[in-house]
A and B are shown apart, each in its own frame.
Chain A
Amino acid sequence: MAHGAASVVASTGQQKWGPGIIETLGIAALLAFAGYAALFIAPTERTMGVIQRIFYFHVPSAWTGFVAFFINLAGSIAFLRARDLKWDRLAVASAEIGVAFFTVVLVTGPIWARPVWGIWWTWDARLTSSFVLWLLYVCYLLLRTLVEETERRAVLSAVSASLRHSTFPWSISPSGCFARSIPSR
């Protein structure tokens, strides 16, 4: 036991805690500049007005959420192929981050839609599939807390990835940032 514990402690002790301060500051500066650009540099949209600026947070959050969910899918597939738990760890980490970004999307979407289209929400294909995708990931994270055995939890999570990603085509398919799938006022 002593040897096993020592090796675990050694392996975790060797890890560097946190990204470099310069890297963090760099991303913080980039984020601040992006916020400034979205609010002050980008031109005001002719018909929607100032509220359209939420687009610069809403759409990138959705794209970033999708990237995180694709990492989740890749991690799940890699785990099923290699049975290495590091892929499961990557999958769960990316799922949580994807849910966070998608929560931003689901909150900013209605805030944008209400003044522009006169409605908070409509059950069209893209919105519904985005909501279902978010819900499936929340369920995935909840499901993981219910299974105690590590290996079994990882297998169940990876298999359920195929179900979750079946909603992807509907979430992504309507092309164009201003696609009017939402009824007008």
Chain B
Amino acid sequence: MIGQGGSLDSRMLNVLLLCWMALLGVMTLLLRQRYRLETLRHSVEELRTESARNAPGE
């Protein structure tokens, strides 16, 4: 039910905020994991560059 003046019913607003909090939690979790993966990828890139630089014959 939409309240007067186009505002949201308080129960709707509460559920909306609850859903947002849940999705923010998911986002935080994913962001942390994805950041760690990117850090690892960066480390692998560094190692690869280093090994190419020190490869015999170069």
Contacts and interface: CB of A to CB of B under 8 A. Distances in A.
Interface residues of B, number: 40
A158 interface: no
A56 B19 contact: yes
Given A93-B35, A101-B27, A27 B1 contact: no
Contacts, number: 125
Contacts of A135: none
A42 interface: yes
A11 B15 contact: no
A185 B38 CA distance: 47
Contact of A176 (B6, B16, B34, B47): B6
Interface in A28-77: 30-31, 33-35, 37-38, 41-47, 55-57, 59-61, 63-64, 67-68, 71
A166 to B, nearest CB: 23
A61 B50 contact: no
A26 B1 CA distance: 30
Contacts of B15: 34, 37-38, 41-42, 56
Given A60-B16, A93-B34, A178-B6, A43 B23 contact: no
A19 B29 contact: yes
A71 B40 CA distance: 20
Interface string A3-19: 01100110110010111
A85 interface: yes
Interface of B: 1-2, 6, 8-9, 11-12, 15-16, 18-27, 29-40, 42-43, 45-47, 50-51, 53-54
